[in-house]
Amino acid sequence: MPRHAVETADMQAITAGFGLQWEKLGGKTVCITGAAGFLPSYMVESLLYLNETRQLGIRVLAMARSRAGFERRFAHHAGRPDLVCIEQDISRPFTLDEKPHYIIHAASQASPKYYSSDPVGTLSANTLGTAALLELARASGSEGFLYFSSSEVYGQPSRVPTAEDDYGVVDPTNVRACYAESKRMGENMCVSWHHQHGVPVKIVRPFHTYGPRMLLDDGRVYADFVACILRNEPIALKSDGLATRAFCYSADAVAGFWKVLLDGAPATAYNIGNPDGEISMRGLGQLLVGMYPEKGLTVSFVERKEGDVYMPSAVSRGCPDIARAAALGWQPRTSLADGFRRTIESYL
């Protein structure tokens, strides 16, 4: 099955619309961890699209925990010589025969449903995995290293919209902090390897990102909403729905990740998100049902079921200040309504 038309349009936008210096990657080997995941798979896809359209000869080492998951995700690329699957749990020791020119560490259990059910696995990829990959970059003389951090590092932010130095409180004795604290540690590992060994690290902090390929059953509220629209079911909120988040369409975010890797300053963190996409959960539910009036759907409120492992955030408002990324020449371009419409279309 070829790429979905929505994904093809996204690849065109990523590779042609943001002034990225793709020639830096020509003939290079790029290792991407978590390659079958939502956002890293789009990074893999964009490199393969560049090879198809610009013949850049990029070799992609796609590291995935499950080969079966990789093959499902990239079935439309079966047999391509420029895409190599490496089956590996990044939190366990490994060796790599090749020396990658660029490393993108995006493997992580980002869904809050894992913070309760598997906190050790959640923090391990962000710490043990990060250390192993930084050592690989050091030993390989890699030209670039991109670490996927998270807006969760801000905890309860001291200011909203939140800039890269507006840190708030994270309680390290709360098990939910397994994600935020390990992402923070991963960032410090990056700057420490840069300081001591000269590894050319860059850090991105994605805010809420949505789009084609996101798992609709991973427990995040906005994914639940999209699943409801696709199943013609009413949207059921498990809170008052007043918390706000800023949502960024995945193609815009992926272009931002590449921009930071190729043009960002070493040992520096960049927020990647869309401040114009800020909306309450209730408002997002109402927006989505309003986009499809023919379905006759509604937004309602329900109690969480007993035994629900989802661990909600205590942050009532999340919105990035993206001035630092904008100074590199990156800005998100996709409106909330257009992005969610494209997302829903991609599953049809």
Catalytic residues: 179
Give rounded-to-5 percent helix, strand, coil for the chain: 45, 15, 40
CA 70 to each of CA 83, 134, 204, 307: distance values in angstroms, whole numbers, following the listed order: 11, 23, 24, 31
Within 8 A by CB and 6+ apart from 21, the residues are 262, 263
Beta bridge partners of 59: 29
102-105 β-sheet, strand order? 83-87, 59-64, 29-33, 102-105, 144-148, 201-206, 269-272
State the Cα angle at 168 between 271 and 221, rounded to 5°.
Answer: 65
Task: Kindly report whether the peptide bond that precedes residue 100 is cis, defined as omega within 30 degrees of 0.
Answer: no
Cα dihedral 183, 184, 186, 191 in deg (nearest 10) = 150
- Asked if 304 contacts 112 with a C-beta cutoff of 8 angstroms, the reply is no
Nearest alpha-carbon partner for 210 in 66, 73, 6: 6
CA 139 to each of CA 133, 136, 189: distance values in angstroms, whole numbers, following the listed order: 10, 5, 16
- Asked if 161 contacts 275 with a C-beta cutoff of 8 angstroms, the reply is yes
Q: Where are the beta strands (DSSP E) in 247-312?
A: 248-249, 269-272, 278-280, 299-301
What is the C-alpha separation between 95 and 111, in angstroms, rounded?
A: 28
